Every structure is written in structure tokens, then in C-alpha cells.
Structure 1
Amino acid sequence: MRLLPVYRVSVYVPVDHVQRVVDGVCAVDDLRIGDYAHSAWISAPSTEQFRPLEGAHPTLGGIGELVRAPSVRVEFCIPRDAARLQRLVEAGIRPHHPWEVPAVFVDESSMPAP
């Protein structure tokens, strides 16, 4: 078995914006893995929480208010290419995500070659 080095990108998205974010990412990159495109994993809804501080411009809640909102984890993998990763985050996720600071996590991982 041969392993491919990849970035695994996870982003937490409010339930009502999942398709918008996925479509934004796929408009920037086809997320191709072997003979499959638009490869992504979308988890079951969970809950995220945050408290906007002075200077924030929250989409939900007010300054100092603890907010809990349903969200979904969207994950996808791409080959380890820093420019591609930056393009996906800056053009695919941020403009389509409703939060001022989206929760985006990037791990270096490996996956079996197709």
C-alpha cells in the first residue's frame, strides 16, 4: 500500500450554511481523489459555542453573550500544497462562511493512494 501525504482540512459550519461553504470550496478546487471529485465528509450536527468580545462583529449573538449554535464539521483532503491550501481557505471557505473567524483546522495526514 502506498500512502499519499495530504492536508486534512476541517471547518465547523452552521447547519444552514453547509451547502454554501461546500459549493464555495468546490468552485475553487475539485477536491479530486483518484477518479472521484468533490470528495468531502459532512458530520452529523453538533453544537459550537463562543462569546463575542469587544471589537467583534458577530453574525449571531451580542458582545459578551455566550452563544450556542448548531454546526456541522465539513472535512476534505488535498495533496500537501501550501498555495492550494491557502487558496481553498481564502477563496473557498472564508467568503462563504457566515462567521467573522471561521473555525478551520488543518492537519498533515496520509491516505492510501487510489
Structure 2
Amino acid sequence: MSGLRLHPVYRVTVFVPPAHLQALKRGILAVDDLAAGGYAHGMWESAPGREQFRALPGTASVVGEVGELVSEPSVRLEFCLPRGVPGDRARLQRVLDQGIAAHHPWNSPAVFVEALEFATP
């Protein structure tokens, strides 16, 4: 086996209630097959943890009342998209808008995008 090469990618992390995980995954994959490095549909999900928040005045929260501390089960879903290739930002934006925002149950989903490198043989 030869050494590992680094490939620039966007790593997208989103937290979602377990009951909505499969619908969110289907929504993302309907927009993009997440093809990269000879594979498609590559995703990683964690065991449920907990997400907490307190809605501030003026917020129309899906769960809980204004001022109430809410703690809900949540799954961490991650996937990568190639970065540094033509159209990469437009591809990322489509996944964020049409895949995540359109299929996530929260008004303000917790979504994080990191620019990093992925090592492959």
C-alpha cells in the first residue's frame, strides 16, 4: 500500500432529532448523491445525544415555549463534499438549502461547515 493523499473537502455536520434522521438523509441524497473518491451516499451518524436551547422572545420555536429550557435527543449527521473543484460552492449551497433546510424539522437547524482535508490511499 502506498501512502495517503490529502483531498480538500467540506465536512458538513448537522444535528437532527432521531425521528427525522431518515427523512433528512433522503432529502439530502435527493439533491446530491455525495459522490466522492469512488463512493456515493457516504454519511456518518452518531448515537443519539442531547441538544439543548432556550427560545428567546420573538422566536417561533418548534419545541418548547419562550424562556423554557428544552433538552431533546439529537443525532449528529456528517458527510463530505469535494472542495476546490469547479462548482463546489454552488453544490454545497444546494445541499444546504434544498437538502438540509428544506427537510429539517427545526426553524434554525444546527449546521456546521468546515473546510478541511480527507486522507485516502
Q: TM-score, normalised by structure 2?
A: 0.90
Match of 1:40 in 2: 43
In the alignment, the residues of structure 2 paired with residue 110 and residue 34 of structure 1 have an alpha-carbon distance, to the nearest angstrom, of 13
Match of 1:68 in 2: 71
| Structure 1 vs Structure 2 CA RMSD | 1.1
Q: Does residue 26 of the first structure (1) align with residue 29 of the second (2)?
A: yes
Task: State how many pairs are aligned.
Answer: 114
Q: Does residue 96 of the first structure (1) align with residue 99 of the second (2)?
A: no
> What CA deviation, in whole Å up to 9, does each residue of 1:74-96 have, x standing for no partner?
00000112111111000000111
Match of 2:90 in 1: 83
In the alignment, the residues of structure 1 paired with residue 115 and residue 38 of structure 2 have an alpha-carbon distance, to the nearest angstrom, of 22
Structure 1 unaligned regions, length at least 5: none
In the alignment, the residues of structure 2 paired with residue 6 and residue 34 of structure 1 have an alpha-carbon distance, to the nearest angstrom, of 11
Amino acid corresponding to residue 45 of structure 1 in structure 2:
P
Structure 2 unaligned regions, length at least 5: none
Percent of aligned positions that are identical: 56
CA-CA distance at 1:113 after TM superposition: 4.0
Any conservation in 1 of the 2:46–2:76 contact (CA below 8 Å)?
A: yes
Q: Does residue 52 of the first structure (1) align with residue 55 of the second (2)?
A: yes
In the alignment, the residues of structure 2 paired with residue 29 and residue 113 of structure 1 have an alpha-carbon distance, to the nearest angstrom, of 21
